[in-house]
Chains A and B, each alone.
Chain A
Amino acid sequence: MAERGVPARLQLRGITKQFPGCLANDHIDLTLGPGEIHALLGENGAGKSTLVKIIYGILRADGGDIKWDGQPVSIASPSQARRLGIAMVFQHFSLFESMTVAENVALGLDHGAGLDALSARVGEVGRRYGLALAPEKVVHDLSVGERQRVEIVRCLMQEPRLLIMDEPTSVLTPGEAEALFITLRQLADEGCTILYISHKLQEIRALCDRATVLRAGRVVATCDPRQETARDLARLMIGEDFSQASKTAGGPCGAARLQVRGLNMAAAAIHGTAITGIEFEVAAGEILGIAGVAGNGQNTLLAALSGEQLCPNAGDIRIDDQDAGDLGPRRRRRLGLAFVPEERLGHGAVPEMSLTDNALLTGYERQDLLSRGSIMFPRTRDYAQRIVKSFQVVTGSIGSHAGSLSGGNLQKFIIGRELLQQPKVLVVAHPTWGVDAGAAAAIHTALLDLARQGAAILVVSQDLDELLQISDRFAVLSEGRLSECMVTAAADIGRIGLLMGGQATGHGRENGGERRAAQT
């Protein structure tokens, strides 16, 4: 911290950025000391991304000034930011799948170097910070956790003095996240400043020295997160008290409404994961969670459940005791299925179309919106209006394009669209991914209500906290295989972590990611 004459590593004063129709950053002050791990907290749309893009030279501020080591600077481009010693690990990786680790690292450097020398340095940096990586491996074969290590090592090669991390643990298992924290603490001890962006309050409390909370483009608080409860931080973030929904323990469950029996599916996409021997049942009134790190067969399983990919046998999937494995999405909806995909824009909704049209997209069958091939617009508009009203979707009108809604509002709209169809079986992928705490609580409440009305709900999520909070039972999907189902109330987090890392039996103490690296 900036005390006793040591200048702050980075000091922002009055940073302002206006986008058409939205003041993304409104006079933001932020001071980062040497060796500090500083959290940047805020809901979606609070202005976090804009702020770090300004720091990393991707965007230019309209007003305000930046001091680096006490010297005024203007950061015009990412390469200038890197020259100052600022590095950034993005939430979405920018790696070339078909190239090796060393080649990817070489591409990220501003100055060229021989590949052999580089490989040696990758190994050296990796050993020093506990980031085991094989430089000659092709990225395409790496797990998500390993890919993130490549990104981090690529940054560390430049010996940064400020490392910006954007939601780094959203793709990691608990074990991998813990390993990452050790690395980050070691970096901070060596004097590197870390700006850490996350939604996960527990993790910020465990890792960070200070936290700056943004709301609607303004700094609303700077605090020591270790002194605050997660609930206080959440309140600061959304500016109001919110009630957290959670499962009231074990009501009696009815008959099985969704049954999956010995389902085997080849991967739908080129780099997808095949699934084998998937077996589970979801009963009326029950929420079953499927945990696991992305890329372990979730997409294949979801496509098989929605009907976008047909199953090999009709009996592989049964909805309300009827064979549905060979039915397409439309006929499965007729049986009572509703489905919320992982990606909102571009899968769950058409960005360029109005909310009315997007309501029609999946509502046409169960809401009876068609008459002899024509669209009944009054009914469709009424349905869209009911979704917006019941789920408090913030939007100009139902004529607004889906792409103009914020992530959380669009997710509320999509979930509302499916829930108003009164499904008997609901399959939801990542219901609150990237959604702010207020909207997440509303979504959780809605799911619990639906279960109480007797629907069977399957939630596929990477967010373990979420599954622990709302599911009755859950299982872990790893490398295309599903573990046995566990009762949530009796679950053991350590064992779940091991399962997520691909260790079905849990022998050995090392975390999943390291084990994967060692195997191959």
Chain B
Amino acid sequence: MRPRLEARIGASRTMVYATPVLAVALTMACGSVLFAALGHHPPAVLYAFFIQPLSSVYDLAELTVKATPLVLCAIGLSFGFRANVWNIGAEGQLTLGAIAGGGIALWAGDDAAAWVLPAMIVAGLLGGAAWAAIPAFLKTRFNANEILTSLMLTYVAILLLSYLVHGPWKDPDGFSFPQSRMFADSVLLPLLTMGTRLHLGAPITLFLALGAWWVMARMFIGFQIKVVGLTPAAAGLAGFSVNRLIWITLLTGGALAGLAGLFEVAGPIGQLQPSISPGYGFTAIIVAFLGRLHPVGILLSGLFIALSYLGGETVQIELGLPLAVSGVFQGMLLFFLLAADVLVRYRIRWRRAAMVQEAG
């Protein structure tokens, strides 16, 4: 006897949306076992991880600040993923957006006019899009795999930022620390609530998420993206240009990631420094899939993953657990999500080994 996976006739639609919830529940259950084994009282740890970071206005604002770049990148990526364009380089596009927008802030100096911040936003969008245009060109012109090119360009982008803050853009009064001058207050994103770091980027992100939903559900371009992802040959029959869609999805993804980078440096950070993101561009891949590549789902999953960052910090401070706990949680979450997905689409059959030929 050995187990075999057998395709289900028509996966349940309810289950497709229920799996993320199921995965979260399983992650908590397994986390509890882990904490118990480490000698902690599981309810206390779970409280510290999932509830405590939500217990004050400041904490909620922090959660939103962390979720903003995750959601922005994930929404951009979801366009590509729907069309089978596997942009893995959101982190690099985010960095380029920060460089382009930050460059304008530094150029404008201390007495920047009112148009500088909008110009920075545009530059952030264009910077990220330009960086994503490289894989798009290589893919459409030479059929180069965008997974490799976009990933490799991430490291180029990070090194470029590092060169700039160590070299030409280094703060002359910064005691040789590798960081730029602080941006002028007039070019920083306005704060929404005093005493928190919650900035204008959050409502813009929410607005963009709703816009993305409209594009995917109602617009013909969203339909084209879905068709090319599901059945490329049918897209060819209908006259949808695959190359055009590769360009559109990569440029959109790059632009949104670039915007996320600009929001970081013009928001919580306020300057350019060698590291401007704790891997938001990569974590956004998990956010996109956890949110079922759906804009509303991505909003929820972005908040959840942001919570796992904050929860990891809280349990480290409160209970002395290692920071790696948030990594473990994110890993378990992705694992349970993928496993549940498999079981929604297939069922396990125990039967004697049998060779299957021509199952169609």
Q: Which residues of A contact B (CB under 8 A)?
A: 19-21, 57-58, 76-79, 90, 92, 94, 306-308, 328-331, 333, 339, 341, 343, 346-353, 357, 360-362, 364-365, 370, 373-375, 377, 401, 404
Contact = CB atoms under 8 A, between A and B. Distances in A.
B233 A346 contact: yes
Contact of B239 (A90, A333, A347, A374): A333
Given A94-B358, A373-B219, A350 B227 contact: yes
A375 B219 contact: yes
Contacts of A306: 237
Interface centre among A20, A350, A362, A365 (most CB of B within 10 A): A350
B199 interface: no
A343 B360 CA distance: 15
A112 B230 CA distance: 41
A78 B233 CA distance: 34
B176 interface: no
B114 interface: no
A308 B234 CA distance: 10
A331 B238 CA distance: 10
A377 B234 CA distance: 20
Contact of B236 (A92, A329, A333): A329
16 contacts: A21-B9, A77-B352, A77-B354, A92-B358, A307-B239, A308-B236, A329-B239, A330-B239, A353-B227, A357-B223, A361-B237, A361-B238, A364-B220, A373-B219, A373-B221, A375-B220
A309 to B, nearest CB: 9
A432 to B, nearest CB: 19
A76 B80 CA distance: 44
B194 interface: no
A319 B286 CA distance: 49
Interface residues of B, number: 27
B230 A329 contact: no
Which of the listed residues B9, B352, B357, B358 has the most CB atoms from chain A within 10 Å of its own CB? B358
A133 to B, nearest CB: 22
Contacts of B231: 346-347, 349-351
B213 to A, nearest CB: 13
Contacts of A307: 239
B355 A339 contact: no
Nearest to A334: B239
The residue in A21, A94, A347 that gathers the most chain B C-beta atoms within 10 A of its C-beta is A347
Contact of A92 (B220, B227, B360): B360
B2 interface: no
B239 A328 contact: yes
Interface string B341-360: 00000000000111111111
Contacts of A328: 239, 241
B360 A339 contact: no
A50 to B, nearest CB: 12
Contacts of A357: 223
Contact of A350 (B218, B230, B355): B230
Interface in B232-257: 233-234, 236-239, 241
Contacts of A351: 230-231
B355 A78 contact: yes
Contacts of B239: 307, 328-331, 333, 365
Contacts of A78: 354-355, 357
B226 interface: yes
A82 to B, nearest CB: 10
Nearest to A331: B239
A425 B317 CA distance: 73
Given A370-B220, A375-B223, A404-B10, A329 B358 contact: no
Interface of B: 9-10, 218-221, 223, 226-227, 230-231, 233-234, 236-239, 241, 352-360
User: Max chain A CB contacts within 10 Å: which of B221, B230, B236?
Assistant: B236
A373 B230 contact: no
Query: Which 3 residue pairs across A and B have the least CB separation, nearest first?
Result: A330-B239, A329-B239, A77-B354
A330 B236 CA distance: 10
Contacts of A77: 352-355
Contacts of A57: 354
B238 A329 contact: yes
A333 B237 CA distance: 11
Nearest to A361: B238
B354 A373 contact: no
Q: Which of B221, B239, B355 has the most CB of A within 10 A?
A: B239
B354 A362 contact: no
Nearest to A166: B358
Contacts of A94: 357-358
Contact of A76 (B10, B241, B352): B352
Given A352-B230, A375-B223, A329 B355 contact: no
A95 to B, nearest CB: 12
A357 B217 CA distance: 11
A347 B238 CA distance: 9
A79 B355 contact: yes
Given A19-B9, A328-B239, A349 B234 contact: yes
A94 B236 CA distance: 28
Contact of B226 (A21, A353, A370, A374): A353
Give the residue among B223, B231, B233 with the most A Cβ atoms within 10 A: B231
A298 B10 CA distance: 34
Contacts of B219: 373-375
A155 to B, nearest CB: 13
A306 B238 CA distance: 9
Contact of B356 (A58, A92, A362, A377): A58
A410 to B, nearest CB: 13
Given A20-B9, A370-B220, A76 B354 contact: yes
Nearest to B356: A58
A362 B212 CA distance: 24
A90 B358 contact: yes
B331 to A, nearest CB: 29
Contacts of B226: 353
B356 A361 contact: no
A351 B241 CA distance: 20
Contacts of B220: 364, 370, 373-375
Contacts of B352: 76-77
A292 B352 CA distance: 44
B223 A329 contact: no
Contact of B237 (A21, A58, A353, A362): A362
Nearest to A60: B351
Nearest to B222: A375
Given A57-B354, A348-B234, 15 more contacts: A77-B354, A78-B354, A92-B358, A331-B239, A333-B239, A346-B233, A346-B234, A349-B231, A350-B230, A350-B234, A351-B231, A353-B230, A360-B223, A361-B227, A370-B220
Contacts of B221: 373
Nearest to A21: B9
Given A77-B355, A78-B357, A347 B237 contact: yes
